[in-house]
Amino acid sequence: MSESKLHQQKNSSERRRREFPLRRMVPNILTLLALCLGLTSLRLGLNERFDLAMLCIIGAAFLDAFDGRLARLLRASSPFGAQLDSLSDFVNFGIVPVLLVYLYALQATGRLGWAVILLFSVCCALRLARFNVDIDDGDRPAWKMKFFTGVPSPSAGALVMLPMFLDVGGIISLREQPIIVSANVILVALLMVSNLPTYSGKGFSPTIRRDLVLPLMLGIGVLAVMSFTFPWVTLSVLCLVYYALLPVGWHHYRRLAGATSLTD
């Protein structure tokens, strides 16, 4: 190989090392936007604008749901992005939602209410740390990819705000019922660090049967209409449905585990 070609290859290699593909920045930008939404939610909560504060958390959850998928689609996954996503999740779903609940209903309880808040945040930190360790486990069977261990932090952030959804939606006010609100916070905190298998949605097939396309589209359309027309009622129902699906997911996991043990 001539000296000129070697020189060109060396320059090309050095240029590639200096340059960074813009597509790899997109998922991290979404993560940072989600973090900004979470912090803005806290500011709105301090001003007692709880409806807008909760919308910011829901928006952060949507961004969180797409940033990882977008990273895989763009082949932009990286350890840096994974750690940034985890830190953003802790703020957006482990700190801000439960602080909104504290400002909403638990301030009058003093130290007891604050202890409940701390418990939730500690459990969220432990849950995220366990998730970061488990994600590197390459020995997990494929069927286990359909399940999380414990309730994931974005779902926990929504579940812990269920009393606020019910109140803002005009269904029932639990603002003067700190015991019920605290019990919900403790329940969600324990579910995060439990070994309860919960549906993840990541391991399911990206394709469906053709005869299910129309019903699925209809269901998504109805959900969209309800979300825009009765957002708080819809969020309340979704949280209650999630609670109802917990034993269903556990039963499904046990059935798959039993079938796997029989084939081994």
List, for residues 48-89, the tens digit of each pLDDT value. 999 999 999 999 998 888 877 776 776 767 777 788 888 999
Task: Say which residue, 29 or 244, is predicted with more confidence.
Answer: 244
In this structure, whether the domain defined by 22-263 belongs to CATH 1.20.120.1760 is answered with yes
Range among 69-73, 121-125, 252-256 rated most confident: 121-125
Range among 75-79, 120-124, 132-136 rated most confident: 120-124
Across 1-25, average pLDDT = 60
The pTM assigned to this predicted structure is 0.85
List, for residues 136-157, the tens digit of each pLDDT value. 565 667 767 788 889 999 999 9
What is the pLDDT, as a whole number, of residue 204? 62
What is the pLDDT, as a whole number, of residue 207? 72
Residue 16 has pLDDT above 80, yes or no: no
Domain spans of the chain? 22-263
Residue 5 has pLDDT above 70, yes or no: no
List, for residues 197-206, the tens digit of each pLDDT value. 998 876 566 6
d(CA 261, CA 178): 45
Q: pLDDT band at 210, cuts 50/70/90?
A: confident
